């Protein structure tokens, strides 16, 4: 079961995925050197939209938030806005993805946010945000909660627009099942307020929220992320938490979401699959293997109803993930390098296993929310966020050959 299934105490999420452009004329050694000035490099890689479209079209979502204070990582902004740190990944990325959480409060100063927005705009990169769409708490739940929550997120997203950024994709972070889970799982914080939650009623509030958000940002394509562990998928997979979560058929869920959004004039564009390395280990625990059957069945369902199928590639390190997700750290770990290497090893094994199982998404999403690697870059250093992303990009390039 993923972090989204179990870590309900985490507040409103925020997303970060990646950028697009093509670095031409860089050999293996050149790509490991710093690029020239930022403006010169942007001119080189960002001349035409058609050039970007000819690449892999990756969404890149580097982990911009540290896991101790939930503030922006000290090295993130400087590393990310200098493409000399990540030319290989940059050259194949179409979309930069962030969590909406990163826009809140004072995580970025106004000037820092303008710097980031200017970088993405000058690079011609589309921007995606992972949003809550609906997050219940004891003061906000039930009928009318969707509209109230949407107003909050619209205000936060507007800060990005005011800084000069674009809102091109919005993906809900298991907006329905987060709230159902709050009533049925773990400490059940919402159980005193909502008994026997019906996912269809929760979805009605999510649909209201999304219709308001889409009205505010009409150019944004709307999609969903829902943790597969909540669902019955195909003939062989039911919820990974059957004692708490009643089985919900994934195909019925997505078809219902598509229909209800359509009735309000909102097209459901994509479903991005969130079922990571550790989740596949859980499904295959009896055979002591990674089991990708749930993912493959879900991918088929998503495509069959006409949605863009996206695959999120990531993994926890073996020390962070011990039965339940450990996202919030009390202090910086002393063995951070070891844990970063473990996370990279797991991520690469996960990618290879998914490809071997026949995985073929419409969109590859190189996104990290896990605490390790805890260093942003550069991509020439293996056990960094940019480093593991570079390894994945190179694997994808070989698949295209």
pLDDT of residue 182: 96
Query: What is the three-state SS of the chain?
Result: CCHHHHCCCCCCCCCEECCCCCCCCCCCCHHHCCCCCHHHHHHHHCCCHHHHHCCCCEEEECCCECCCCCCECCCHHHHHCCHHHCHHHHCCEEEEEEEHHHHCCCCCCHHHHHHHHHHHHHCCCEEEEEECCCCCECCECCCCHHHHHHHHHHHHHHHHHHCCCCCCEEEEECHHHHHHHHHHCCCCCCCCCCCCCCHHHHHHHHHHHHHHHHHHCCCCEEEEEEEHHHEEECCCECCCCCCCCCCEEHHHHHHHHHHHHHHCCCCEEEEEEECCHHHHHHHCCCCCCCCCHHHHHHHHHHHHCCCEEEEECCCCCCCCEECEECCCCCCCCCCHHHHHHHHHHHHHHHHHHHHHCCCCCCEEEEECCCCCCCCCCCCCCCCCHHHHHHHHHHHHHHHHC
pLDDT of residue 29: 32
Contacts of 351 (CB under 8 A, 6+ apart): 313, 392, 395
pTM for this prediction: 0.86
Residues belonging to the chain: 401
pLDDT of residue 69: 84
pLDDT of residue 66: 87
44-62: burial string, b at 16+ Cβ within 10 Å, e else: bbbeeeebbeebbebbbbb
pLDDT averaged per 10 residues in sequence order, the chain, 401 residues: 34 29 30 36 40 72 89 96 96 96 95 98 95 97 98 98 98 96 94 94 98 98 94 94 93 98 98 94 95 97 96 91 54 84 97 98 95 95 98 96 84
Output the six-digit token pair for 200: 């269809």
**Domains, in order of start, for the chain:** 3-400 (3.20.20)
Residue 366, φ and ψ in degrees, nearest 5: -95, 90
pLDDT of residue 322: 53
Cis peptide before 256 (omega within 30 of 0): no
pLDDT of residue 340: 94
pLDDT of residue 330: 66
How many CB atoms sit inside 10 A of residue 192's CB?
9
pLDDT of residue 52: 41
- Residue of 294, 300, 391 whose CA lies nearest to 352: 391
Distances (CA, A) of 398 to 93, 202, 322, 392, 393: 16, 43, 34, 10, 9
């Amino acid at each position: 079961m993923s972090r989204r299934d179990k870590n309900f105490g985490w507040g409103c999420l925020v997303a970060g995925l990646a950028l697009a452009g093509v670095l031409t004329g860089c050999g293996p050694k050149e790509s490991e050197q710093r690029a020239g000035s930022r403006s010169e490099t942007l001119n080189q890689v960002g001349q035409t939209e058609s050039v970007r479209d000819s690449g892999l079209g990756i969404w890149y979502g580097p982990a911009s938030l540290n896991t101790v204070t939930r503030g922006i990582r000290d090295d993130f902004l400087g590393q990310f806005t200098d493409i000399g740190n990540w030319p290989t990944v940059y050259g194949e990325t179409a979309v930069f993805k962030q969590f909406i959480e990163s826009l809140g409060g004072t995580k970025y100063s106004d000037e820092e946010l303008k710097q980031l927005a200017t970088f993405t705009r000058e690079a011609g990169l589309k921007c995606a945000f992972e949003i809550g769409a609906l997050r219940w708490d004891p003061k906000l739940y039930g009928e009318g909660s969707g509209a109230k929550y949407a107003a909050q997120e619209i205000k936060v997203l507007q800060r990005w627009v005011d800084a000069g950024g674009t809102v091109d994709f919005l993906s809900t972070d298991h907006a329905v099942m987060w709230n159902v889970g709050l009533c049925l799982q773990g400490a059940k914080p919402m159980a005193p307020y909502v008994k026997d939650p019906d996912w269809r009623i929760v979805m009605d509030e999510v649909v209201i929220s999304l219709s308001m958000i889409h009205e505010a940002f009409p150019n944004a394509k709307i999609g969903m992320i829902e943790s597969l562990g909540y669902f019955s998928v195909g003939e062989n997979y039911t919820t990974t938490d059957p004692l708490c979560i009643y089985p919900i058929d994934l195909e019925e869920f997505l078809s219902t979401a598509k229909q209800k959004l359509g009735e309000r004039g909102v097209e459901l564009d994509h479903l991005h699959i969130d079922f990571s390395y550790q989740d596949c280990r859980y499904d295959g625990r009896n055979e002591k293997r990674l089991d990708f059957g749930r993912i493959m069945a879900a991918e088929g369902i998503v495509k069959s109803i006409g949605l863009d199928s996206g695959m999120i590639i990531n993994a926890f390190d073996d020390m962070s993930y011990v039965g339940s997700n450990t996202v919030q750290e009390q202090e910086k770990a002393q063995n951070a390098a070891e844990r970063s290497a473990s996370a990279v090893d797991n991520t690469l094994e996960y990618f290879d296993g998914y490809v071997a199982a026949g995985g073929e998404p419409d969109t590859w999403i190189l996104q990290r929310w896990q605490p390790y690697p805890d260093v942003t870059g550069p991509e020439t250093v293996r056990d960094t966020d940019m480093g593991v992303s570079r390894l994945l990009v190179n694997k994808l390039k070989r698949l295209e050959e």
